[in-house]
Structure 1
Amino acid sequence: MGTRAHSPALILLVVVALCGICRGDSTDLSVSVRPVFAGLAALEGTLPLSIEVANRGAGTSGRVVVKWESSSIAYPVDLPRGSRKQLMVYAPMSSLYSEASVLLETGEGDLEAPIKIGEVHARQSIGLIGGSIGDMTFLRTTTAPSDTGVSASDSYGRPGSLPDRPAGYSAFIALVLGEGSERMKDEEVAAIKTWVVGGGSLIFIGGASSPVLDDRRWAEFLPVGPVTPRNVDGIRTLERLGGSPPPAGRISLALGRPLPGSNVVFSAGQSPVVVRQRVGLGQTIYLAFDPFQPPLKQWGGLRKLFLNGIGLDQAIANQEWLFRQTTGDPEARSDPHSSSGPFNAKLPNSGTVFLILILHLIIAVPMNFLLLRKIGKGELAWVTTPIISMAFAAVFFSLAAGLYKSGQATRSRGTLLVSSLHNEGYFRGHTEIFIPRGGAYDLKLQNVDSVTTGMSEDYAPWGQPLEAVDDGAVQIPQLRVSNLAFRELFYSQRIAAPRWLDGSIKNVDDTSIKCSISNNSPYDLASAKIVFGKLEFNAGQIASGETLQKTLTSDSTGWELWSDEQSVVVEGTLVGFKPGPQIGQDDGSKIRFVYFWGPIE
């Protein structure tokens, strides 16, 4: 998720989660709404909300609906007599620029809890999982966010009560695993892992005691090996990261050996204190000290350390790149390979339509009546006028005949991010949809965890109604459209991708590598490139089930975003992969596949 420029007026209308509890009561039903993350405030992403519904009366069923403008996402719920249920719902941050609310709709009555809005002073948010509320107040600022630079607010989540989907963390630039984070549920850990692959930054902290470092669920994501404790009398050189000298006093460190594929960001003498590892488009960062314990807790350099000293600026650059990939290049909407498809159909412009309407009015009324009156047959106007109207209707129909002949079609753009350290990839992108006949259509979405309507005025302008159902994954079972309907959806989707690429890559010399790459995915990889460090190697096509064995020599420089001396990136176009809506024929989709490999030999 990237950042977009907002006008100052809009910046002041961003949600600051919920202040306290919003309640609505009706005889036997009650509903309460709480923020999952205390203090969450961001300009983009998703706002997770914890809903508690109680029923003291007769058993009933219904749904909890997150509603904004003309759109909604519904969560089915059964409420037997005497039941009290909790569920988590998700509201797009962008929807909260206008009035939004949570509704409980049942056969026994409806309740509504408004979602309050307020001000925000940061473009991103950093979340602390576990620990204590207030540990990261050093991040706060009273100035409005700028379109450039790093700024972040602080927010707090409780282990065991967190989102079980990556989209639930999309408002964060970084998450910190604090005290008690080892108590997270497996599905929460899995969701955060996929969020990291999609561009998130996950921070582990050491210090005197940090049980999460022994949590085997994080073994491949932790940048260091087993740690050993050491106490030191201050680390004066931390001033380089924080901009001011740290306070005097004994600091407890948990020092570990950096693992292959990781980079030492900062050392104190021979001891690695800040270590970073790339995981997908995101990163994991290890701090050998605990910034929430004395004496560092009082350090005035903590804000600069978190915002500028540990690489979050690069994380923001990565997310901005992904945002541009997600929204799509406007030039891509004129794909020559789908020139006969509905998305490139040339409809008459407004000037042509206006001219035809004017001609119709002139011919159907003045010319028609004057001519018939001149020949003394004015009564025939009852016959000629409908004929003229039908003729002009035929002209309009002929201009859109190609669309009426077309069947249902979709065209997708986006990026699938996969890491060798995790068995689930994350797709971010959008799909244009064409449906020639009006009706209600099931889009047959699979493993989609967030969806919004399109940003293009050509297909689905802001305000386009969206009626979705969320039963653990987002579904659109009834997309209601009229004839010749164009729609556009932006979404994120979890994709099972266990070891889609396998093999080995060896460094031969300064410009050559020897590779053996097996494509274990169900899709061909076209225009494949291997990026290592600052070099790029063209690998051509690697078909599904095929193993590429070749020595490659670089003749170009790799893109700086992928540059990493410790790991390899394989990227290309995924052929045959159809994300999102599973209806209609594919009409020129283009899916970028980026596979982040571990360290090479």
Structure 2
Amino acid sequence: MKLKKGLALALAAAALLALLPGSARAEKDIYVVGLLFGDQLFPDAWNRVEVRVPNNSDKDFQGSVVVELGGEYVRDVFVEAGKTGSLVFYLPPLAYIQRDYSNVTALKIYLRDQRGRTISKVNLTTGSRKTSSIFVGVMGKQAGEFKRIGNVLDYLSVAGMNPESLDNLQFAQNFRAIVLSNPGSVSLNPHQAANLRRWLEAGGMLVVGGGSSWQQSAALLSPDILPVRIQGVETIAAGDLVPLGLPSLEEGEYTIAAGEVQGQVLLAAGDKPLLAAKKVGEGTVLWSALDLEAAPLLNPANSEAFWQKVFLLRPVVKAHSVDYNFVSQLFNSISQDSLASALSPGKLFLLLLGYIILVGPVNWLALRKIDRREWAWFVIPAVALLLTAGAFAYGRLGRGSDQILYQVNLIEQYSNNKANIQSFSGVFIPRSRDMTLSSEAYLAPLSGEIVSRLDGGQQVLALKKPPLWSVQKFYGAGVLDLPGSVQIEASFNPSLKSAEAKVTNNSGQDFFAGFIKMGKEWFEFGALAAGESKTSKAIMQPDFQSILSRYNPSSRPFPGWYDFSYYFPNTSVYFLGFGDSGP
């Protein structure tokens, strides 16, 4: 009888599972796949994760995709029956999220239905976690024959890219050069076009092909940045292409784009420019009169020789990344010290000493005097409870009840009125309540309690009852509009036999300390308000220890030695300013 009853229950359960869409069936019909740019998570560069959701069922799917790294990134997804949905997530450098990033072996991706149930999960291997490569992007197509660039210059990696690669400016910095060659029907929306210009002005290199298809590439760009104002096409004899140094040049005529030069001619055939360049901010536009995908560059030997000459004439360098250890120490100095001032180690020692005295000799003498030693069983817990409550109240009063935003902002100006900004931030939690943070910048959670969502098209960070008195960290990156730039003038004073420098602060920012470095010499200006000008003579190495200790309320010396020239690669003259307030 018991056996029959158990068999009936098993059959009923099997029938129920057959009728209801169970998790095993859902995972087979609807699942999640993750793809990493460069096949790894880079510790020193922004990362791109494409998540695909194939829906092989006969019903539409509505749910969400969750990417877990540092915090959670949640995006809604809708996939029609029989189709595949796709979402893209941008993640900050792995070193920003976890200092010991070498221990991060997998990225977790979840697919959840509308009820929050996980129906598919994948652990995406993070790869070798080596430093990022210098990527050359080919807009609008696969790398194809352009992979030959890596054959002759092995420090370059060539990858196809689409306009969506420009959606996130920080990720776009992975591409140190972008090739525009016969992009066909590719178009850029206003946001992507603006990011391409920002990418260029911040130090990128744009290689634009000519030939009979020059209009396709030129259509994506503003005419003012091209080195040549193209007026049409011409034919040119093979002998006129000798300056390019192509080893397998066949006799005949080749089509080139021609026009009025408005940049610098690098190579020419008589009065016809073959290669021309124009500086745009910190970046360069390099223009080729030849079609990059037509004869004579179809020949592999010619193609490799051409690209070797291009990148020797205008080398590309890796985008520098922030030393997160330095920023982390600075952030911890301004956040933890202000919080720890309420309960310093000395105060904690006195509190423990008082507890030991109370529950030890004082308790024993008092109970002995009234002859109630058995009361010790509840006197000691009561004293412990009272001291704990007192310490909690004292700490709460000391730390305050206001939410406090801590920021370390690094601002790098790349044009007269534009600057890239990176913000390492944290918010102090005085009460364990839900909180939402939003900004025009791209925000990335660095604490496990923070969830990144999209709300009405805007990215927000949601904190659901974060731990009391914690500092929840996040990272922000974006572009800052400035009223002007910091102007530098240098001169030599013959009477003093030394160099002098003058600085005018048109940046709109106030600095409590300002410096100029020219070559190996430093010039110190002290406090420099917005709109102010000052002149200075050369000094020895600035005392950055004292400057950084300004952020430390306990006035302890800031540890370590820092070479700020790391943030200004390939620059012989730069201004370095420190401010108390952020944008």
Band the TM-score falls in, shorter-chain normalisation: 0.5 to 0.7
Given that 1:151 and 1:307 are in contact with CA atoms closer than 8 Å, whether structure 2 keeps it comes out as no
Say which SS state the counterpart of residue 167 (structure 2) adopts: coil
Decide whether aligned partners of structure 1 residues 255 and 482 sit closer, same or farther in structure 2, where only a CA change above 3 A counts. same
Task: Give the secondary structure class of the aligned counterpart of 1:393.
Answer: helix
**Alignment of structure 1 residues 496-575 onto 2, 5 Å:** 497=481, 500-501=483-484, 543=530, 561=568
* Distance in structure 2 (CA, Å) of the matches to 1:278 and 1:534: 27
CA distance in 2, matches of 1:84, 1:324: 39
* TM-superposition CA deviations, 1:541-596 (whole Å, max 9, x none): 565xx7x8x8x87856998949889xx98875677544xxxxxxxxxxxxxxxxxx
Partner of 1:62: 63
1:114 is aligned to 2:147: no
Of 154, 157, 175, the match for 2:178? 175
Given the superposition, is the C-alpha separation of residues 352 and 138 from structure 1 closer, same or farther in structure 2, using an over 3 Å criterion?
Answer: farther
8 A Cα contact 1:175 1:203, kept in partner: yes
Aligned to 2:226, what secondary structure does the other structure show? coil
* 1:413 aligns to 2:397 (yes or no): no
Structure 1 stretch displaced more, 27-36 or 284-293: 27-36
Q: Show the 5 A alignment for 1:180-219.
A: 180=183, 183-186=186-189, 187-215=191-219, 217-219=221-223
Query: What residue identity is the alignment partner of 1:137?
Result: K
Gaps of 5+ in 2: 1-23, 494-498, 540-563
Quote the offset at 1:486 in angstroms: 1.6
Residue 211 of structure 2 contacts residue 289 of structure 2 at CA under 8 Å; is this kept in 1? yes
1:484 aligns with 2:478: no
What is the TM-score when the length of structure 1 is the normalising length? 0.64
User: 1:263 and 1:72, CA in 2 relative to 1: closer, same or farther beyond 3 A?
Assistant: farther
Q: Deviations over 1:105-133 (max 9, x none)?
A: 22376433536434588732322112443
Structure 2 counterpart of 1:26, one-letter code: A
> Which TM-score applies when normalising by structure 2?
0.66
Structure 1 residues 534 and 234: alpha-carbon distance in aligned structure 2, compared to 1, 3 A threshold: farther
**How much identity, in percent, do the aligned residues show?**
18
Counterpart position of 1:89: 89
Cα deviation 1:286-310 (Å, max 9, x = unaligned): 4555555554452445675576652
Distance in 2 (alpha carbons) for counterparts of 1:255 and 1:121: 44
**1:362/1:286 Cα in 2 relative to 1: closer, same or farther (>3 Å)?**
farther
**CA distance in 1: counterparts of 2:186 and 2:109, whole angstroms:** 29
Amino acid at match of 1:411: Y
One-letter identity of the residue aligned with 2:109:
V
Assess if the C-alpha contact under 8 Å between 2:513 and 2:526 holds in 1. yes
Equivalent of residue 103 in structure 1, options 88, 103, 110: 110
Return closer, same or farther for 1:307/1:61 CA change in 2, 3 Å cut-off. same
- TM-superposed deviation, 1:219: 3.1
The equivalent of 2:47 in structure 1 is 46
- Residue 449 (structure 1) aligned to one of 442, 448, 451: 442
The DSSP-based 3-state class of the residue aligned with 2:383 is helix
Query: Would the alpha carbon gap of residues 296 and 325 (structure 1) be closer, same or farther in structure 2, given more than 3 Å must change?
Result: farther
> C-alpha separation between the residues in 1 aligned to 2:41 and 2:293?
21
- Partners of 2:53 and 2:185 in 1: how far apart? 25
Are residues 366 and 342 of structure 1, via their aligned partners in 2, closer, same or farther at CA, if it must alter by over 3 Å?
Answer: same
Task: Note the C-alpha offset of 1:102.
Answer: 3.2
Q: Does 1:137 align with 2:147?
A: yes
Alpha-carbon spacing, 1:400–1:110, altered in 2? closer, same or farther (3 Å): closer
Q: Superposition pairs for residues 451-466 of structure 1, below 5 Å?
A: 451-453=444-446, 464-466=448-450
Pair 1:427-2:421 in alignment: yes
Unaligned runs of 5+ in 1: 1-23, 142-148, 240-244, 454-459, 579-601
Listed one character per residue, the Cα deviations across residues 442-494 of structure 1 (whole Å, up to 9, x for unaligned) are 12x222324141xxxxxx6xxx4432113544311225422211232222124
Equivalent residue for 1:273, pick from 272, 275, 295: 275
- Give the conservation status (yes or no) of the 8 Å contact 1:128–1:155: yes
Query: Are residues 575 and 362 of structure 1, via their aligned partners in 2, closer, same or farther at CA, if it must alter by over 3 Å?
Result: closer
State how 1:95-494 maps to structure 2 within 5 Å.
97-107=104-114, 110-112=118-120, 114=122, 116-117=124-125, 118-119=127-128, 123-124=132-133, 125-138=135-148, 140=150, 151-159=155-163, 161-180=164-183, 183-186=186-189, 187-215=191-219, 217-226=221-230, 231=236, 232-233=238-239, 246-249=247-250, 254=257, 259=262, 271=273, 273-279=275-281, 282-289=283-290, 292-296=293-297, 298-299=300-301, 300-301=304-305, 309-313=313-317, 316=318, 319-320=319-320, 323-324=322-323, 328=327, 330-331=329-330, 334=333, 342=338, 345=341, 347-349=343-345, 360=355, 364=359, 368=363, 372=367, 376-390=371-385, 392-393=387-388, 396-397=391-392, 400=395, 403-405=398-400, 407-417=402-412, 420=415, 425-443=419-437, 445-453=438-446, 464-471=448-455, 472-478=457-463, 480-494=465-479
8 Å Cα contact 1:42/1:171 also seen in 2: no
CA contact (8 A) 2:201 2:415 kept: no
Tell me the secondary structure at the aligned position of residue 410 of structure 1.
strand
Q: Which moved more, 1:193-202 or 1:425-434?
A: 193-202
* Alpha-carbon distance in 1 for matches of 2:486, 2:90: 40
Q: Distance in 2 between matches of 1:126 and 1:190?
A: 20
Give the structure, 1 or 2, with the largest relative contact order (CA under 8 Å, sep 6 or more).
1
Partner of 2:182, secondary structure, is: coil
Aligned AA (1:486): V
Q: How far 1:57 sits from its partner (Å)?
A: 6.1
Q: How far did residue 214 of structure 1 move?
A: 2.5
- Separation of aligned partners in 2, 1:62 and 1:40: 27
Distance 1:211 1:507, change over 3 A: farther
What amino acid does structure 2 have at the position aligned with 1:193? R
Deviation at residue 189 of structure 1 after TM alignment: 2.3
Measured on the aligned residues, the alpha-carbon RMSD in Å equals 5.4
Work out the number of aligned pairs and report it.
508
* Cα distance in structure 2, aligned partners of 1:285 and 1:556: 38
Residues 171-213 of structure 1 show CA distances to partners (whole Å, capped at 9, x for unaligned) of 3333322321662231332333334445544333335533344
Contact 1:228 1:255 survives alignment (8 Å): yes
TM superposition shift of 1:48: 4.0
CA contact under 8 A between 2:71 and 2:445: conserved in structure 1? no
Q: For residue 163 of structure 1, report the CA deviation from its aligned partner.
A: 4.8
Greater gyration radius: 2
What amino acid sits opposite 2:439 in the alignment? Q
Partners of 2:536 and 2:130 in 1: CA distance? 46
* Distance of 1:537 and 1:257 partners within structure 2: 45
How far apart are the structure 2 equivalents of 1:450 and 1:150?
Answer: 34
Give the Cα separation in 1 of the matches to 2:289 and 2:500: 36
CA contact (8 A) 2:228 2:276 kept: no
Structure 1 counterpart of 2:450, which letter? L
SS at match of 1:49: strand
Contact 1:256 1:272 (8 Å CA) reproduced: no
> What letter corresponds to residue 485 of structure 1 in structure 2?
S
Match of 2:462, SS? coil
Which amino acid in structure 1 is aligned with residue 73 of structure 2?
I
Provide the secondary structure at the position in 2 that maps to 1:439: coil
Conservation of the 8 A alpha-carbon contact between 2:409 and 2:582: no
Instruction: Report the counterpart of residue 582 of structure 1 in structure 2.
Output: none
1:532 and 1:564 in contact (8 A); partners too: no
Q: Describe the shift of the 1:258–1:394 C-alpha distance in structure 2 as closer, same or farther (beyond 3 A).
A: farther
Which amino acid in structure 2 is aligned with residue 470 of structure 1?
L
